[in-house]
């Protein structure tokens, strides 16, 4: 057993690498670039991020994710919203999430993802039903190949998925519970979105827990609209801009004096 004392310590860098790859792929590539076109990224970065993250960290179907997210904005917190209805308990939401398994071939998914990029072979492969089981295996094999320890590989595999569920809970359930008192609102919009104040939630979700800001201004690259708000994903995006990977068409300052936000601000 002494040979396995290193495993808990070795989980920390593995989870941090996984966070970086998922923050880049999910928050920047799929969300801010592909789904909302709030940032410009070269195709090589999009497809490299898609390939590495899906194969070695966690499979996220690019087509169904983008379609679900666009439907979420179109039907926020209503019965047509894929997985973010506000009037359910956490366990009901969790059960709905596990039941929700759309396919890229579904007509509704096709309707919301007519962009040419979804026809690219890399997006097409990772949107195929076989990609999920295939990537589940390769994501376990990657840490096993590096360390030769099946215990470590299994621990990494499980921890990444537990952390992923925690992230999804923050940004999908708790950040859409305006009447539950989980956060505050800068914008008086029709849905139940809120901005979570927890730094842990903001870090884990790469700033995606600032849902009220994002729903009010979905085409804005930064989810932090006021000086005290923190968007780690946008900071990562700024880094990518500095190394000439990303281009941000609209560059709002991190501290915004927005009359609409001030007039509509009211915490739940």
Between residues 4 and 120, the one the model is more confident about: 120
Q: Give the Cα separation of 133 and 44 in Å (integer).
A: 25
The pLDDT, as a whole number, for residue 259 is: 38
Asked if residues 149 and 180 have their Cβ atoms less than 8 Å apart, the reply is: no
Q: Give the Cα separation of 162 and 156 in Å (integer).
A: 10
Delimit the domains of the chain by residue range: 2-264
**What b/e readout covers 162-179, taking b as 16+ CB neighbours within 10 angstroms?**
ebbeebbbbbbbbbbbbe
Asked if residues 178 and 161 have their Cβ atoms less than 8 Å apart, the reply is: no
Tens digit of pLDDT for each residue in 241-262?
Answer: 999 999 998 655 534 444 344 3
pTM, rounded to two decimals? 0.88
Q: Average pLDDT, whole number, for the chain?
A: 87
Tens digit of pLDDT for each residue in 150-172?
Answer: 999 999 999 999 999 999 999 88
Percent of the chain with pLDDT over 90: 65
| Three-state SS annotation for the chain | CHHHCHHHHHHHHHHHHHHHHHHHHHHHHHHHHHHCCCCECCHHHHHHHHHHHHHHCCCCCHHHHHHHHHHHHHCCCCCCCCCCCCCCCHHHHHHHHHHCCCCCCCHHHHHHCCCHHHHCHHHHHHHCCCHHHHHHHHHHHHHHHHHCCHHHHHHHHHHHHHHHHHHHHHHHHHHHCHHHCCEECCCCCCCCCCEECCHHHHHHCCCCCEHHHHHHCCCCCCCCCCCCCCCHHHHHHHHHHHCCCCECCCCCCCCCCCHHHHHHCCCC
Q: Give the Cα separation of 263 and 259 in Å (integer).
A: 6
């Amino acid at each position: 057993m002494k040979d396995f004392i290193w495993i808990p310590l070795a989980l920390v860098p593995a989870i941090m690498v996984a966070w970086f790859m998922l923050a880049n792929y999910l928050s920047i590539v799929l969300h801010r670039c592909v789904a909302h076109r709030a940032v410009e990224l070269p195709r090589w970065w999009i497809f490299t991020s898609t390939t590495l993250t899906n194969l070695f960290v966690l499979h996220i179907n690019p087509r169904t994710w983008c379609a679900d997210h666009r439907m979420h904005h179109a039907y926020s917190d209503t019965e047509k919203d894929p997985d973010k209805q506000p009037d359910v308990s956490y366990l009901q939401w969790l059960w709905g999430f596990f039941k929700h398994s759309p396919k890229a071939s579904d007509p509704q998914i096709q309707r919301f993802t007519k962009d040419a990029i979804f026809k690219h072979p890399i997006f097409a492969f990772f949107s195929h039903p076989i990609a999920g089981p295939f990537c589940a295996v390769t994501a376990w094999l990657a840490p096993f190949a590096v360390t030769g320890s099946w215990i470590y590989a299994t621990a990494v595999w499980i921890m990444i998925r537990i952390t992923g569920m925690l992230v999804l809970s923050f940004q999908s359930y708790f950040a859409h519970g305006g009447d539950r008192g989980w956060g505050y609102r800068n914008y008086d919009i029709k849905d139940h979105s809120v901005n979570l104040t927890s730094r842990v939630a903001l870090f884990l979700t790469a700033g995606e827990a600032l849902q009220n800001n994002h729903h009010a201004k979905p085409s804005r690259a930064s989810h932090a609209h006021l000086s005290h708000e923190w968007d780690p994903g946008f900071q990562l995006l700024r880094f990518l801009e500095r190394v000439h990977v990303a281009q941000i068409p609209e560059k709002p300052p991190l501290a915004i004096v927005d009359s609409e936000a001030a007039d509509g601000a009211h915490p739940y």
